[in-house]
């Protein structure tokens, strides 16, 4: 079990093979949000050091910027959304 505050590494998989994309986060959802931000929709993350595959469905949606946004930020921004489909043990 990972300690609180410890970064975990998740490798993106495509066609049941590891890719060169590695996302970090304390939780798998945080890594999946990073993958969705970069445009991946079918997200399967293998957690390094374990035999777990975290399966997510992701998308990017265009939303309006928050009211306290800085001046340089556009009025419409991309926001990532993910939904966990399950965990598979290898």
Where do the structural domains in the chain lie, given as residue ranges? 8-89
Give yes or no for a contact between 87 and 54, defined as CB atoms under 8 angstroms apart. yes
Residue linked to tokens 């975990």: 8
Per-residue pLDDT reduced to its tens digit, 39-89: 999 999 999 999 999 999 999 999 999 999 999 999 999 999 999 999 999
17-25 and 42-47: which strand pairing?
A: unpaired
pLDDT value at position 42? 95
User: What is the torsional sign of CA 35, 36, 39, 45?
Assistant: positive
Q: How confident is the model at residue 3 (pLDDT cuts 50, 70, 90)?
A: low
Given a cut of 70, whether residue 38 has pLDDT beyond it is yes
pLDDT value at residue 16? 86
Partner residues linked to 17 by β-bridges: 14
pLDDT > 80? residue 4? no
């Amino acid at each position: 079990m990972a300690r609180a505050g410890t970064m975990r590494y998740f490798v993106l998989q495509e066609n049941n093979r590891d890719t060169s994309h590695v996302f970090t986060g304390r939780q798998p959802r945080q890594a999946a949000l990073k993958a969705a931000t970069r445009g991946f929709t079918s997200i399967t993350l293998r957690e390094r050091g374990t035999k777990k595959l975290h399966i997510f469905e992701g998308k990017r949606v265009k939303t309006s910027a928050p009211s306290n946004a800085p001046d340089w930020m556009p009025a419409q921004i991309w926001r990532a959304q993910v939904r966990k489909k399950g965990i598979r043990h290898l």
